[in-house]
Amino acid sequence: MESKIDILVTLDENYLNPLKVMLTSLYYNNPNESFNIWLIHERIPEEKINNLRKLTDFFHWKLNDIKIDNNLLGDAPTKKQYPKEMYFRLLAGEIIPNNINKILYLDPDILIINPIIDLWNTDLGDYMIAASTHTGMTDITTEINKIRLWNDNKYYNSGIMLMDLRKTRELIKLKDIIDTIDKYGNQLLLPDQDVLNFLYSQHIKEVAEEIWNYDTRKYLTYFTRSLSKHNLQWVMENTSILHFCGRPKPWDPKSNSKFTALYLNYKQLLNRIEKNY
């Protein structure tokens, strides 16, 4: 029986087009894999879900559309800095069916440019999540975050996470998230990521950011830190996931980064696919 990789995305309708570009890149660079896509959302219109399903059907993937009832979150704060999608990601174990034990969460603002099977097969051991840090040149941000979040652990980016759902069901509780926001909300700079790191960083296994969560703003940092090894040729051959952190996003007219043209190429491939169904 063919084994499938379970992919989780949590977003609103404003990110559907970037999601389709991301899925297109996933398809072209993982030709030997099959995927189950789990989309958790609150209010994406059915016609837009059906449009997305045309793409996943074209790829011969299954799209699992899970619309969340407001009752799930109870008294959880939901405003601009605490979007509902933040909770959907952290509480995925409570939302995804219990027969799914592992899932790979992906932000929509990424490109997959090489196979991801090695990330999927990462041995988590006793860890709950595998994720990357974005350390910069001197790693000073890690020390700042240790002080800011009162722990001695590394600070992990929540945009790409391999999650052991058996452990998330055991360890991640909505009450703990709400209590953290109530107590420390004014000190949280990147709320969902800060909550993840404050509560659960000791349960996260680090995976190489240069491979699995490459911050496209930091080409010169990676290049310099690697003593000029990680040039564009190295990235195209070795990096699997490019993450377009910050702004402008690659679909914005103002974007002109080293990787904008690559993104637009996958956008063009998507456009060609959509003309054929």
Bridge partners, residue 19, by sequence: none
pLDDT tens digits, residue range 173-198? Answer: 989 988 888 887 666 666 678 889 98
Q: Are 152 and 228 in contact (CB under 8 A)?
A: no
The Cβ of residue 238 has, within 10 Å, a number of other Cβ atoms equal to 15
Burial class (CB in 10 A: 0-12, 13-18, 19+), 125: exposed
Q: Cα(8)–Cα(177) distance, rounded to whole angstroms?
A: 20
The pLDDT assigned to 148 comes to: 46
* SS3 label, residue 215: strand
* Alpha-carbon 19 to chain mean position: 11
Q: Are 129 and 162 in contact (CB under 8 A)?
A: yes
pLDDT block averages, 10 residues each, the chain of length 277? 85 96 98 97 95 98 92 68 78 95 97 98 98 68 47 84 98 90 73 85 96 97 96 98 96 94 98 93
Six token digits for residue 99: 């027969």
pTM of the model: 0.92
Six token digits for residue 240: 């699997």
The helix (run of H) or strand (run of E) holding residue 165 is: helix 165-171
The pLDDT assigned to 192 comes to: 76
The pLDDT assigned to 269 comes to: 98
pLDDT tens digits, residue range 218-240? Answer: 999 999 999 999 999 999 999 99
Q: Cα(6)–Cα(103) distance, rounded to whole angstroms?
A: 5
Mean pLDDT of the chain: 89
Six token digits for residue 87: 């909770």
**Cα–Cα distances in Å, from 179 out to 69, 91, 99?**
21, 15, 29
**Domains in the chain, CATH or no CATH each:** 5-274 (3.90.550.10)
Dump strand ranges (E) for the chain. Answer: 5-10, 35-41, 62-67, 102-106, 110-112, 129-131, 160-164, 204-206, 214-215, 241-243
